[in-house]
């Protein structure tokens, strides 16, 4: 969608077409919707309206009920921060004491929305005129203040703001890139930005060794999935590593200050309960902090499973009761599962070379029972654990 097409979509005529497209798309198939809309609007306008309808549906996963009032492009939606995560980050902006924030590469304004809703005075810049126009329209659609303009983030003087935020693009012509050398703006620019009070959104797979000294690295999961990492610098950094988990019960954080280290928790045999740490905890290298929290131990020094003789409910790990130790060899395992009438099996694995889908097919299960099987390594041997979530 070009800039003229988007601006037309904001006119009274464009808004009427978008409303009609939304209404029809909810109850009819695409071909009929297109045919109906083209009775009163040209094909290009219809395409622009239907694209927004489709993107708003896709955006619900990230923006919830707000999606129905916002505007997107496919690429910008993919890059945009999930609102629950952006809201958490804006809360940290607030806790830091920031009153003003500049978003250096604001995209369609997802983080601007969260920061503005948190009461910060916000400004955003982006090189893409379409994204800038969309960010401006999104703030207006929600009745939020904020200034947005087309500018190169690397040349903007942002020293007058309490805090700078950046979300470098991590895509090349070949698709998503995990190399910092491919980022736009560059990693060199990011390192320079991190010399002041700033926050930079990065990929969850960022190596720990790449994090500059005195910068806090935070990994965030939402609904059990790791969504992103963020680097906090200057006075915003409060620890070295942090795992933040957003779930139905709210938000919880674990830091390296909660971690006694592997020597303190030790390694031992599987107890009555097994714990699967959240992905953010694993990325942050805080598995032993989870072990300490459940009065447990590791089952292997290099595997992210924790075991304990006690049951704990933790926001940082999924808990399972160990029902039974089954044979690890496939033939004997198959016989044991059949003997127990297990026909539906969830397979979890860590530290072993197993393809769960292929194994499930070879097991040829039959029965009415449902179970969860954990395949892992305990010390120098493989283990098959029949477990039940609690």
pLDDT tens per residue across span 185-224 = 999 999 999 999 999 999 999 999 999 999 999 999 999 9
* pLDDT band at 329; cut points 50, 70, 90: very high
Residue 30 has pLDDT above 90, yes or no: no
- What architecture does CATH give domain 77-238? 3-Layer(aba) Sandwich (3.40)
Find out whether 119 and 147 touch, Cβ atoms under 8 Å: no
Residue 13 has pLDDT above 80, yes or no: yes
What is the spatial distance between Cα 47 and Cα 44, in angstroms, rounded to a whole number? 5
Backbone phi, psi, residue 299, to 5° = -90, -15
Tokens of 16: 């009427």
Q: What is the pLDDT of residues 308-322, one digit of tens each?
A: 999 999 999 999 999
pLDDT of residue 173: 56
3-state SS class at 54: helix
Tokens of 289: 């902090």
* pLDDT band at 27; cut points 50, 70, 90: confident
Same fold, 77-238 and 262-389: no
pLDDT of residue 179: 76
What is the spatial distance between Cα 87 and Cα 178, in angstroms, rounded to a whole number? 25
Find out whether 299 and 291 touch, Cβ atoms under 8 Å: no
What is the spatial distance between Cα 156 and Cα 200, in angstroms, rounded to a whole number? 16
In Å, what is the CA distance from 360 to each residue of 327, 338, 345?
A: 15, 12, 8
Rounded to 10 degrees, the C-alpha dihedral 217/220/226/229 comes to -30
- What architecture does CATH give domain 262-389? 2-Layer Sandwich (3.30)
Percent of all residues in the chain with a pLDDT value above 90, rounded to a whole number = 93
Q: Could you write out the three-class secondary structure of 84-118? A: HHHHHHHHHHHHHCCCEEEEECCCCCHHHHHHHHC
In the chain, what are the domain boundaries? 3-57, 77-238, 262-389
pLDDT of residue 177: 61
pLDDT of residue 318: 97
Q: What is the pLDDT of residues 242-292, one digit of tens each?
A: 999 999 989 999 999 999 999 999 999 999 999 999 999 999 999 999 999
Tokens of 381: 């041997």
Q: What is the pLDDT of residues 165-187, one digit of tens each?
A: 999 987 665 556 667 878 899 99
Q: What's the mean pLDDT in 136-153?
A: 98
Angle between helices 30-37 and 43-63 (to 10 degrees): 130
């Amino acid at each position: 969608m070009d800039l003229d097409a988007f601006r037309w979509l904001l006119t009274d005529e464009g808004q009427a077409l978008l409303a009609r497209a939304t209404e029809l798309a909810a109850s009819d198939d695409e071909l009929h919707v297109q045919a109906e809309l083209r009775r009163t609007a040209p094909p290009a306008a219809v395409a622009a309206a239907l694209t927004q309808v489709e993107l708003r549906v896709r955006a619900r996963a990230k923006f919830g009920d707000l999606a129905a009032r916002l505007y997107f492009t496919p690429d910008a939606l993919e890059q945009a921060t999930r609102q629950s995560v952006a809201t958490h980050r804006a809360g940290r902006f607030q806790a830091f004491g920031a009153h003003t924030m500049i978003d250096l590469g604001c995209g369609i304004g997802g983080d601007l929305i969260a920061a503005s809703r948190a009461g910060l005075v916000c400004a955003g810049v982006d090189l893409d005129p379409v994204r800038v126009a969309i960010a401006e329209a999104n703030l207006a659609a929600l009745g939020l203040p904020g200034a947005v303009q087309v500018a190169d983030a690397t040349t903007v003087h942002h020293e007058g703001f309490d805090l700078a935020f950046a979300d470098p693009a991590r895509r090349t012509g070949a698709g998503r890139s995990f190399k910092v050398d491919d980022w736009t703006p560059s990693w060199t620019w990011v390192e320079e930005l991190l010399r002041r009070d700033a926050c930079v959104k990065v990929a969850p797979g960022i190596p720990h060794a790449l994090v500059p000294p005195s910068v806090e690295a935070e990994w965030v999961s939402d609904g059990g999935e790791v969504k992103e990492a963020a680097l906090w610098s200057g006075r915003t950094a409060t620890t070295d590593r942090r795992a933040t988990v957003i779930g139905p019960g709210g938000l919880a954080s674990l830091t390296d200050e909660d971690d006694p280290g592997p020597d303190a928790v030790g390694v031992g045999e599987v107890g009555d309960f097994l714990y699967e740490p959240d992905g953010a905890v694993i990325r942050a290298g805080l598995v032993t902090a989870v072990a300490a929290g459940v009065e447990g131990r590791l089952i292997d020094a290099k595997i992210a499973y924790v075991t304990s003789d006690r049951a704990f409910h933790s926001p940082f790990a999924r808990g399972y009761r160990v029902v039974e130790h089954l044979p690890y060899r496939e033939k004997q395992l198959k016989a044991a599962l059949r003997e127990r009438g297990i026909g539906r099996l969830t397979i979890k694995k860590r530290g072993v070379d197993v393809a769960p889908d292929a194994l499930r097919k070879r097991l040829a299960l039959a029965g009415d029972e449902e179970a969860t099987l954990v395949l892992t390594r305990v010390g120098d041997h493989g283990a098959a654990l029949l477990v039940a979530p609690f």
